Chain A
Amino acid sequence: MLALQFTGCGKTDEVQETAGTQDKDYIYAADYQDLEADGYTTGSMIFGEDEKVYFAGSSEEGIKQLFSMDIGAGESTASPVPVELEADAYISAIGTDSEGNLLLGIVKYADTAVNIAADNVNAAEDDNVSAEDAGSGIGGVEIRKISLDGQTLESVDVMNVLGKVKDLYIQNVLADKDGNYYVNANQSVYVLKPSGEMLCELQAGTYIQSLFRMKDGTVVVGFYGDTGWRLQSVDLSGKALKDLNSSISFGYGTYQAGVDADILYTQDTKLYTCNLSDTEPTEVLDWLESDINSTSLQSVKLLKDGRIAALSMDFMSEQSKPELIVLTKKDRSEVSGKTTLTYGTVIVPYYLSNDIAAFNKQSDKYRIEVKQYGDDSMDDDARVALLAADLAGGKGPDLIDMVFNFTSLDKFISMGALEDLTPYLENDAVIKREDYFENVLNTYARDGKLYAIIPCFGISTIVGKVSDVGDKKSWTMDDTINLMDSKPEDTQILDYNTKNSILQLLCSMNMGEFVDAETGTCDFTGGEFKRILEFSNQFPKEVSNDSDSGFVDRIRNGQLILMQGNITSVQQFQMYEYIFKEEINFIGYPTIGESGSVIRSNGTTAGMNVNSKNKEGAWEFLKFNLTKDRQENLQLANGGFPTMKEALEKQFAKDVEAEYYEDTDGTQKEKSKSTWTYGSGTDNITMDVYSATQEQVARVREIIEQSVGLDGTESEEMLSIISEEAQSYFEGQKSADDVAALVQNRLQTYINETR
């Protein structure tokens, strides 16, 4: 009846296959080609209706050019397509119409020539950042229809329609069979008549990921809306977006028109094709099997000869490099003499696919394949149970993902499934243990044995003003309660906090007080637990949004005292300082221990299966993520601190270094490192982050050094029992004593059982 543990979670419809990848006897082998090889920076790129790839490039000297390359014919060099462009105009987007011609979305700048194509590629990565004056002075917008050899067939000036759009950035353009143009720009699709007049503007309210024309001529947009991924068709008669009628549940991904089928799309790590009338999509391939990071894919083309071409732009690495990838189907055996290792996990986050793809690409001895356990209908425990069953049956993966919770770490240890990595780490020729933060490594150590390698981490903590929380390294629950008592009645301790969340927070940090792990007894009936109950009861039952001032104001004027924070960079520290506008202290969660700031994994964190037949290979992968090269690039890829001290220092050095640019009036100004937005909805704050001071870096270093790993005594099950019982107290229907007795009764069973 374990099965019933599967039940707590909500219902999701996403279809995911758990099947291992090993059972296919073929594999798609990838060939990569750098599209920037000849000194051009590549911007927009697409596959044409033929088997050619078209891309816009601009050279250092400001020459802009449209290139084409016939992949179907096996060409490996691009040839220019003669297109006339004015000096300050560039091709923002390339598209197709239904007659096999190309469409160019051309934007002309009024003022100085900038290397815009490249800039705008970056802007596409995150539209928050696009504020960087991309479209401030637009001098002209044109949609140009050209034949495949570059002859202009039609040129429509749409300046008076699109020129008004603030910060215009054209992402996609296409035409339907009636000759109407569809322009995807700035969270909207603009539909223009063949003459260039506006037919309608369809707002998605968010970044539109995909715009394409299906084979029946319907134009479809895909974006991540409030309720999840939406795939909608453009309904011109109703001038609205209309949900597609299909029983397939589509999820976040990259969508485009299929060749024979309606839609071709990449979701998670897999490429699917489907007709809308299908009940399930057909899987074409798993990108990860070919060591391709599916998150960086822009567009895919199924070639007639069975090969598959893809355009990829990797925004995660330092230089976003546009690549053409051509996949050829090969017999699994002929492809690699590589030994295959499996990586067992319950979900595949982007950084995992990143790391595995990178490892596979560089290793000539090993290949990692992901085996995913469970699907969205299961909760984490149930998924972990499936993984465990495989381990017990001797079919377990070589590498076991350990990112998600500490309780599963303890379960796997008690199962005896995890190899102690200490000897590997200590005997390695390249990696030296002392080069890494010991407290971070120890997050995954128990009884002196190291069970997983954590290459990248963040710190979860509580932030407050020094004037409130003092400059101590940690505080106890009593300190917290006293602080609250000293404040006026309507002061809030944490935003968005309820009776329940405070109760959980306090209990999880103080579980050690109630539970005696040695004797296996617990005591909730003493005064301490009741105090927590009473304290939590002062908070509102539900998150209230009745305060008319934003959270930043409330923090600055003292109505709100603390913030829960997750820092993964110095810039975040700077942001918190900016929010509080006062000296701050990362005091951490209330605890009786030494520190209440907790280390959390923020990247591929894995352990090794004791029974792995390829321990050497497994270690190769774990070690790969610790290498200097990987560690130094982590901040950009994962947004966390690297575990390697040297790499962290290098990152710090970057954080304090200021970059300047010359302003229009000739003065030197510091360039902002990035722009941060914190908050939700309308209640948010945006700040530009500049170089950090040595002081700030020192503070971050200090926090990192003093943070601890969780010891796993907090268990979700216990917290959920506590909060379930506490509700009757919060409702005023039972006394604190009754609740404490019930909690005692149920948790004692729990504790007995785990002994």
Chain B
Amino acid sequence: MTFRKSVLKGTGTALSDRVFIKKKKKRDRRTFEKRALATIIAAFFAVLFLMPIILTVTNSFMSASEISSNYGQVFSTTDTGGKTYISEKVNLKFIPDIVSFSQYITVLLKSPDYLFKFWNSVILVVPIVGFQLLVAALASYGFTRYRSRIKEIIFFVYIILMLMPYQVTLVPNYLVSGWLNIIDTRWAIWLPGIFSPFAVYLLTKFMRRIPTSVIEAAQIDGAGEWQIFRRICMPLCKGCMCSIAILIFIDYWNMVEQPLILLSDEAMHPLSVFLSKINAGEIGLAFAVATIYMVPTLLVFLYGEDYLVEGITYQGGIKG
């Protein structure tokens, strides 16, 4: 299986857990070398991964004119709608010539438009995160308890629906929203978001790993389903729910397609839509907007990163 081969290749250098006790000194040195190598590799990747975020932040302190002279042609379009050709050399520039707060002043003080859009993002995303979790928690519990063939099939359908690219159900989604008369209202974004199978899938995967003994013990003590759900299951799922919340948040915080199709009123569009259609005229503000836009994600990460790491798989030991 090629799969395994590549696994082997990928990890050969990383495995440093040598366990032989003999030749202690030599072993220590080898471990040290390996660790140093591993650190260097990790550092290399870290730089690559960090580059865009650093670039976004540092460039937000450039003046609008400096930005457009650097990257203007990347975002300009021709009169026919095509991209213009970048005719001169373009380079990423990390350090501004002059540190300027003009972008922020414009975005935060002069044109309230961007703050409105930011607020739109919040209004659209927060209810989705909250209610998707609620609906998913209930459903996952339903999927976990008393597993049956039908439930398995339904669960499989959830997975398939979750995997569908957005294009597939674009038209019918619009139609259904039309039937429900929610087009051009936030409900058209909220409702499909709230009922998305994504969180159900993740949470069910998690809950199924909670040992049945825990639940059965409660059951013997006379707890009803609601109590088991509320008092046993939910506390165990807290970490997982947090990590799913982060994922959902990031997903919807970055949404572009849904608002464009379902909310024709531009005044309701979130900031992500603006950031996906930056053009040459707006590039001068884009980095400050992008930086402000990253703040909530950053906060969510800082607050919840540990959950993200520990949350997805059940930690209480794996027992049948």
Distance of A719 Cα from B81 Cα, bound (Å) = 10
The reply to whether the CB of A395 lies closer than 8 angstroms to some CB of chain B is: yes
Q: Are A379 and B81 in contact (CB under 8 A)?
A: yes
Taking the closest CB of chain A, its distance from the CB of B116, in whole angstroms, is: 8
Instruction: Check B175 against A731 for contact (C-beta < 8 Å).
Output: no
Q: Mark B58-75, 1 if CB is under 8 A from A, else 0.
A: 000000000000000000
Q: Check if B264 sits within 8 Å of A374, measured CB to CB.
A: yes
Q: Does B277 lie at the interface of the complex (its beta carbon under 8 Å from any beta carbon of A)?
A: yes
Q: How far is the CB of A680 from chain B (nearest CB, A)?
A: 16
What is the CA–CA distance of A393 and B260 in the complex, to the nearest angstrom?
Answer: 19
A130 to B191, CA, bound (A): 58
The chain A residue with its CB closest to the CB of B85 is: A727
| Band of interface residues on A | 35 or more
Of A1, A8, A17, the residue contacting B257 (CB under 8 A) is A1
The answer to whether A375 and B276 touch across the interface, beta carbons within 8 angstroms, is no
Nearest CB of B to A638, in Å: 27
Q: B313 at interface (Cβ–Cβ under 8 A)?
A: no
Those of B154-186 within 8 Å (CB) of chain A? 165-167, 170-171, 174-175, 178-179, 184
Closest chain-A Cβ to B290's Cβ sits at a distance in Å of 16
Contact of B316 with A by CB under 8 A: no
Contact with B along A485-507 (1 / 0, CB 8 A): 00000000000000010001000
Interface of chain B residues 249 through 285 with chain A (CB within 8 A): 256-258, 260-261, 264-267, 269, 276-277, 279, 281-282
CB <8 Å contact, B87 and A727:
yes
A280 within 8 A of B: yes
Cβ proximity bits A368-412 to B, threshold 8 Å, 1 near / 0 not: 000000111111001000100110110100000000000000000
Q: Is the CB of B167 within 8 A of A2?
A: yes
B112 within 8 A of A: yes
Which of B78, B84, B85, B175 contacts A392 (CB under 8 A)? B175
Chain B contacts of A10 at CB under 8 A?
279, 281
A2 and B257 CA atoms in complex are apart in Å by 7
**What is the bound-complex CA distance between A615 and B81, given in angstroms?**
37
Cα(A389)–Cα(B169), bound, Å: 12
Q: Does A339 contact B (CB under 8 A)?
A: no
- Chain A minimum-CB-distance residue to B258: A3
Partner of B85 from the list A19, A386, A716, A731 (CB cut-off 8 Å) is A731
Contact indicator B264/A386 (Cβ below 8 Å): yes
- Alpha-carbon distance between A389 and B171 when the two chains are bound, in angstroms: 7
Q: Which residues of A contact B91 (CB under 8 A)?
A: none
The reply on A668 being an interface residue by CB < 8 A is: no
Q: Are B81 and A716 in contact (CB under 8 A)?
A: yes
The answer to whether A720 has its CB under 8 Å from any CB of chain B is: yes
Decide: A2 near B170, CB < 8 A? Known: A720-B80, A727-B84: yes
Which residues of the partner chain A approach B178 to less than 8 Å between Cβ atoms? 389-390, 393, 395
Please indicate the chain A residues that have their CB under 8 angstroms from the CB of B266 in the complex: 12-13, 15, 375-377
Docked-complex contact A4 and B257, CB < 8 angstroms: yes
B83 at the interface (CB under 8 A from A): yes
- Is B77 part of the binding interface, using a Cβ–Cβ cutoff of 8 Å? yes
Bound state CA distance, A405 and B152, in angstroms? Answer: 50
Task: Find out whether the CB atom of B264 lies under 8 angstroms from the CB atom of A18.
Answer: yes
Contact with A along B81-96 (1 / 0, CB 8 A): 1111101000000000
The answer to whether B78 and A724 touch across the interface, beta carbons within 8 angstroms, is: yes
Q: Does A755 contact B (CB under 8 A)?
A: no
Whether A7 contacts B184 by the Cβ 8 Å rule is: no
Complex: A500 Cα to B279 Cα, angstroms: 20
Judge whether A467 is part of the interface by a CB distance below 8 angstroms. Answer: no
A280:B267 contact, CB within 8 angstroms: yes
Of all chain B residues, the one with the shortest Cβ separation from A389 is: B174
Other-chain residue from A17, A377, A724, A728 in contact with B82 (beta carbon distance below 8 A): A724
Pairwise interchain contact B85-A4, C-beta atoms closer than 8 A = no
Q: A280–B166 Cα gap in the complex (Å)? A: 32
Residues of chain B within 8 A of A500, CB atoms compared: 78-80
A residues less than 8 Å from B170 (CB atoms): 1-2
**B158 to chain A: closest CB distance in Å?**
22
Q: In angstroms, how far is the closest chain B Cβ from the Cβ of A21?
A: 14
A472 at the interface (CB under 8 A from B): no
With a CB–CB cut-off of 8 A, which chain A residues contact B174?
386, 389, 393
Interface 1/0 per residue, A7-28 and B, CB below 8 Å: 1111111010111000000000
Q: Does A6 lie at the interface of the complex (its beta carbon under 8 Å from any beta carbon of B)?
A: yes
Give min CB distance, B40 to chain A, whole Å: 38
Contact A504 B80 (CB under 8 A): yes
Closest residue of A by beta carbon distance from B167: A1
Minimum CB–CB distance for A17 against chain B, Å: 7
Is there an interface contact between A18 and B184, defined as CB atoms closer than 8 Å? Answer: yes
Q: Does A636 contact B (CB under 8 A)?
A: no
Q: Known: A10-B279, A18-B264. Is A728-B78 also a contact (CB below 8 A)?
A: no
Knowing A1-B257, A13-B266 touch, does A733 contact B87 (C-beta < 8 A)?
Answer: yes
Query: Which residue on B lies nearest to A500, using beta carbons?
Result: B78
A376 to B264, CA, bound (A): 9
Query: CB of A674 within 8 A of chain B?
Result: no
- Contact (Cβ within 8 A) A3 B80: no
Contact partner of B80 among A12, A247, A279, A716, CB < 8 A? A716
Q: Using known A-B contacts A8-B81, A11-B282, determine if residue A17 contacts B265 with beta carbons closer than 8 Å.
A: yes
CA distance A390 to B77 in the complex (A): 31
Task: Please tell me if the beta carbons of B184 and A19 are within 8 angstroms of each other in the complex.
Answer: yes
Contact B276–A4 (Cβ < 8 Å): yes
**Residues of chain A lying within 8 A (CB to CB) of residue B78:** 500, 720, 723-724, 727
**Cα distance, A609 to B258, chains bound together (Å):** 28
Q: Which residues of A258-281 have CB atoms within 8 Å of chain B's CB atoms? A: 279-280
Residues of A within 8 A of B277 (CB): 6-8, 11
Contacts of B165 in A (CB 8 A): 1
Q: B87 contacts A3, CB within 8 Å?
A: no
**Do A724 and B85 touch across chains, with their CB atoms under 8 A apart?**
yes
* Closest beta carbon of chain B to A370's beta carbon, Å: 15
Q: Are the C-beta atoms of A723 and B80 separated by less than 8 Å? A: yes
CB-CB < 8 A to A504: which residues of B? 80
Asked if A658 CB lies within 8 Å of chain B CBs, one says no
Partner of B260, one of A6, A395, A728: A6
A540 to chain B, nearest CB (A): 15
Whether A375 contacts B82 by the Cβ 8 Å rule is no
Do B175 and A393 touch (CB < 8 A)?
yes
The one of B175, B179, B257 in contact with A3, judged by C-beta atoms closer than 8 angstroms, is B257
Q: Indicate if A721 sits at the interface (CB-CB under 8 A).
A: yes
Given contacts A18-B184, A280-B267, contact A3 B85 (CB under 8 A): no
- Tell me, in angstroms, the Cα distance from A619 to B178 when the chains sit together: 27
Partner of A247, one of B83, B112, B261, B281: B112
Contacts of A15 in B (CB 8 A): 265-267
User: B264 CB to closest chain A CB, in angstroms?
Assistant: 5
Residues from chain B with a CB closer than 8 A to the CB of A716 are: 80-81
CB distance from B95 to the nearest CB of A (A): 29
Interface string of B274-310 (1 = CB under 8 A from A): 0011010110000000000000000000000000000
Q: Taking the nearest CB of chain B, how far is it from the CB of A543, in angstroms?
A: 11
A38–B175 CA distance with the chains assembled, in angstroms: 56
28 contacts between A and B (CB under 8 A): A1-B165, A2-B167, A2-B170, A2-B261, A3-B256, A3-B257, A6-B261, A7-B276, A7-B277, A8-B81, A9-B81, A247-B112, A280-B267, A375-B264, A375-B265, A377-B266, A386-B174, A389-B171, A389-B174, A390-B178, A392-B171, A393-B179, A716-B80, A720-B82, A723-B80, A723-B82, A727-B84, A728-B85
- Listed in ascending order, the chain A residues whose CB lies under 8 Å from chain B are 1-4, 6-13, 15, 17-19, 247, 279-280, 374-379, 382, 386, 389-390, 392-393, 395, 500, 504, 716, 719-721, 723-724, 727-728, 731, 733
The 3 closest A-B pairs by CB, nearest first: A727-B85, A3-B257, A720-B82
Give B contacts to A, CB under 8 Å: 77-85, 87, 112-113, 165-167, 170-171, 174-175, 178-179, 184, 256-258, 260-261, 264-267, 269, 276-277, 279, 281-282
Given A3-B261, A11-B277, A727-B85, 16 other A-B contacts at CB below 8 A?
Answer: A1-B167, A3-B257, A4-B257, A8-B81, A10-B279, A13-B113, A18-B184, A375-B266, A386-B261, A389-B171, A393-B179, A720-B80, A724-B82, A724-B85, A731-B85, A733-B87
